[in-house]
């Protein structure tokens, strides 16, 4: 979701406007979408901004309506906003959300309004209505929105005291707006009115409804007021808006492609996993096809960690509650933990993290400075409380396995260790087919533990490693974990969507809390630094991303079935079975389809199951005794002929290179 408008100052490098007196007038220099323009005075500046597609501005870090250009103070820093900018899209789509609310009010006069923000790919608005919206309702609302847009009614801003706003919205019966106003600290607030419809809003907005060129309502869902399941369930209408019908069409086509790749649908069709309500929401059952992919991922992960000098661990699924109090999780992470259970008079907690267990392993013996760094890794299953409304297939679950690791290092080693982790992370991601990613350096949050000095050391170490590797990254203010700053890596899939996977976190806190030490070269006890890191994140989420990235058509090394052996007739079964057995003996995952069906049907079945290769056995193959076998790709292309041994070598080589 987009950040609040008040952080848009980070975009100010993109454009500026200065007013300087020239011959008794004012010359204005504009940069819009990284292009420079000149205007002789505010009126010409506003005209030029409109011509170039700008519909709002930022003045001294604050977003403003375009009309504010007429009163821009001298020496102000200003940005012209178009739909091409991230913040411009937010204003454009938030304005569309207001038009949505206006349309709903006209069609459903008794509806009450909650909030309607812009989100990453569009907007939504929450409504309190007597009956849930139907698809037919959405069509009618969208039609009315288009009519309101066609009227090109201006958005008019009005500032008033909070008391006056409270009186206004109380009189209108807008109880949700009243509650929002009561929670505000500002003594002055603003409203926006267009076409007789008034809404509470900080703004800014586009100048008029006609600025919106293409809009589409997408879906409706239930949403608790303020995300609190104890509050009323509202109706949330989702929509999107673009600067052109062509761009909207492209986006809707993308949504259709996303639907085709939905890991939940493909999970059912390819028999990969399921979720059983009798077992519990957010708990995954891995079916044989999904389990063999998971085994392949885990085997690769373990082998590469052994090569990188990590020591593998296994730890319990629960521990005494005191452990989580000592680690700080009970204080800082309790809302994501389950209620403790009593065992023989002691309270136990199922684990939300693996780190305290790794610390316990480290502390089983004295450690010397010569032994550091010590790297522990575990595919550890953890459990976190997620509300049912946010659970989503494999992407948001309650029980999942982290590819977790913790490194205990001297302070002089953390820079090199972070560089190694970055290299290791990108190697793992590239192997799975992810070559594009966004990197963020997340800094100290509002609630944190530890000293300012340690936070600076940790943040500087992460930044220095990123700079040394020449990796492009953004600062993500306040998004670090409570015990330290972190690097987050979001992979981009084949559709360009970003997914949070990898993280690297520096921690001074837990070594101090658990009295973790090593003996220095001077014989004194010293405290190591702990680095938490995950490369894939969780296996469940990563698997879901892989399914959608490949649309279920996995590369050979990951495919649950790598080769289908198909027979043309019953008389070919004995030899076909020999071929299938030979493939399996060499580690190739081969399955047999000897059903009494036409070969065309069997080929289509194999293609639907997205099996990379098929070997078709008929009279010729039997007569040749396997001297001239052909491989049929899932695309329909045939390659070969090969001897059986050459075919096996070809498959094993492709599996080995993991492509």
Point out the catalytic residue in the list 235, 402, 505, 562.
Answer: 402
CB of 434 within 8 A of CB of 493? yes
Q: Which two tokens stand for residue 6?
A: 């008040």
Point out the catalytic residue in the list 486, 549, 589, 634.
Answer: 486
Tell me whether residue 406 is one of the annotated catalytic residues: yes
What does the alpha-carbon distance between residue 130 and residue 132 come to, in Å, rounded to a whole number? Answer: 7
Point out the catalytic residue in the list 112, 235, 355, 549.
Answer: 355
Residue 520 neighbours by CB under 8 Å, 6+ apart: 369, 526
DSSP state of 567: E
Tell me whether residue 549 is one of the annotated catalytic residues: no
What does the alpha-carbon distance between residue 575 and residue 618 come to, in Å, rounded to a whole number? Answer: 9
3-class DSSP state for residue 69? Answer: helix
CB of 332 within 8 A of CB of 480? no
Query: In this structure, are strands 525-526 and 214-224 parallel, antiparallel, or unpaired?
Result: unpaired
What does the alpha-carbon distance between residue 618 and residue 600 come to, in Å, rounded to a whole number? Answer: 13
Tell me whether residue 624 is one of the annotated catalytic residues: no
Which segments within 316-435 are labelled E, that is strand? 318-320, 341-343, 346-350, 374-383, 399-409
Beta carbons within 10 angstroms of residue 130's beta carbon = 7
Point out the catalytic residue in the list 384, 444, 589, 632.
Answer: 384
By C-alpha distance, which of 144, 86, 81 is closest to 119?
Answer: 86
233, β-bridge pairs: 224
Point out the catalytic residue in the list 236, 406, 549, 610.
Answer: 406
What does the alpha-carbon distance between residue 128 and residue 191 come to, in Å, rounded to a whole number? Answer: 20
Q: Which two tokens stand for residue 212?
A: 């919106």
Which letter, b or e, does each residue of 336-348 get, where b requires 16 or more Cβ atoms within 10 Å of its Cβ?
Answer: ebeebeeeeeeeb
CB of 118 within 8 A of CB of 124? no
Point out the catalytic residue in the list 126, 199, 404, 488.
Answer: 404
Residue 90 neighbours by CB under 8 Å, 6+ apart: 2, 5, 118
What does the alpha-carbon distance between residue 25 and residue 40 come to, in Å, rounded to a whole number? Answer: 7
In degrees, to the nearest 5, what angle opens at C-alpha 369 toward C-alphas 366 and 373? 95
Tell me whether residue 501 is one of the annotated catalytic residues: no
Place of tokens 């957010």: 282
Tell me whether residue 355 is one of the annotated catalytic residues: yes
Beta carbons within 10 angstroms of residue 143's beta carbon = 12
Point out the catalytic residue in the list 351, 367, 375, 532.
Answer: 532
What does the alpha-carbon distance between residue 118 and residue 87 come to, in Å, rounded to a whole number? Answer: 10
Residues carrying an active site annotation: 355, 384, 402, 404, 406, 486, 532
């Amino acid at each position: 979701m987009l950040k609040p408008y008040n952080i848009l100052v980070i975009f100010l490098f993109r454009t500026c406007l200065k007013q300087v007196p020239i011959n008794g007038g004012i010359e204005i220099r504009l940069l819009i979408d990284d292009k420079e323009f000149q205007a002789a005075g505010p009126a010409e500046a506003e005209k030029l901004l409109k011509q170039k597609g700008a519909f709002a501005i930022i003045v001294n870090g604050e977003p403003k309506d375009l009309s504010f250009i007429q009163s821009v103070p001298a020496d102000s820093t200003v940005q012209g906003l178009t739909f091409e900018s991230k913040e411009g899209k937010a204003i454009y789509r938030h304005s569309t959300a207001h038009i949505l609310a206006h349309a709903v009010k006209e069609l459903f006069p008794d509806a009450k309004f909650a909030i309607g923000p812009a989100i990453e790919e569009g907007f939504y608005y929450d409504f309190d209505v007597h009956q849930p919206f139907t698809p037919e309702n959405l069509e009618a609302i969208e039609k009315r929105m288009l009519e309101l847009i066609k009227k090109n009614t201006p958005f008019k801003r009005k500032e008033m005291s909070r008391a006056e706003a409270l009186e206004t919205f109380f009189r209108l019966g807008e109880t949700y707006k009243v509650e929002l106003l009561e929670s505000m600290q500002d003594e002055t607030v603003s409203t926006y009115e267009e076409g007789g419809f008034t809404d509470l809003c900080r703004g800014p907005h586009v100048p008029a409804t006609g600025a919106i060129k293409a809009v589409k309502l997408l879906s409706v869902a239930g949403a608790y007021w303020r995300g609190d399941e104890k509050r009323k369930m509202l109706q949330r209408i989702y929509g999107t808006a673009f600067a052109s019908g062509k761009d909207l069409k492209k986006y809707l086509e993308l949504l259709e492609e996303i639907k085709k790749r939905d890991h939940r649908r493909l999970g059912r069709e390819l028999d990969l996993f399921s979720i059983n309500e009798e077992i519990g929401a957010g708990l995954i059952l891995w079916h044989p096809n999904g389990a063999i992919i998971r085994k392949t991922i885990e085997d690769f992960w373990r082998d590469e960690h052994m090569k990188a000098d990590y020591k593998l661990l296994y730890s319990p699924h629960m521990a005494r509650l005191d452990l989580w109090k000592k680690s700080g999780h009970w204080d800082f992470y309790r809302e994501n933990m389950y209620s403790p259970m009593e065992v023989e008079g002691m309270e136990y907690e199922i684990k939300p993290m693996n780190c305290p267990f790794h610390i316990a392993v480290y502390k089983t013996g004295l450690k010397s400075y010569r032994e550091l760094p010590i790297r522990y890794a575990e595919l550890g299953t953890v459990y976190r409380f997620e509300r049912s409304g946010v659970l989503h297939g494999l992407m948001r679950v309650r029980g999942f396995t982290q590819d977790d690791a913790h490194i205990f290092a001297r302070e002089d080693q953390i820079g090199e260790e972070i560089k190694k982790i970055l290299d290791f992370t990108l190697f793992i991601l590239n192997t799975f087919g992810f070559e594009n990613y966004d990197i963020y350096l997340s800094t100290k949050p509002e609630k944190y533990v530890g000293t300012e000095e340690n936070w600076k050391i940790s943040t500087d170490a992460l930044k220095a490693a990123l700079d040394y590797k020449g990796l492009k990254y953004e600062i993500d203010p306040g998004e670090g974990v409570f015990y330290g700053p972190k690097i987050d890596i979001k992979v981009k899939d084949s559709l360009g969507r970003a997914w949070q996977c990898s993280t690297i976190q520096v921690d001074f806190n837990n070594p101090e809390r658990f009295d973790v030490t090593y003996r220095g070269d001077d014989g004194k006890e010293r405290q190591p630094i702990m680095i938490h890191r995950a490369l894939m994140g969780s296996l469940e989420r990563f698997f879901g991303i892989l399914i959608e990235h490949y649309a279920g058509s996995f590369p050979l090394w990951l495919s649950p079935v790598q080769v289908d052996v198909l027979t043309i007739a019953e008389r070919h079964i004995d030899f076909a079975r020999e071929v299938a057995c030979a493939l399996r003996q060499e580690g190739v995952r081969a399955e047999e389809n000897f059903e009494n069906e036409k070969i065309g049907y069997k080929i289509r079945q194999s293609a639907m199951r997205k099996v990379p290769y098929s070997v078709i056995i008929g009279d010729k193959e039997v007569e040749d005794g396997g001297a001239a076998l052909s491989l049929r790709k899932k695309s329909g292309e045939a390659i070969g002929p090969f001897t059986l041994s050459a075919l096996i070598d070809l498959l094993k080589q492709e599996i080995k290179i993991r492509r």
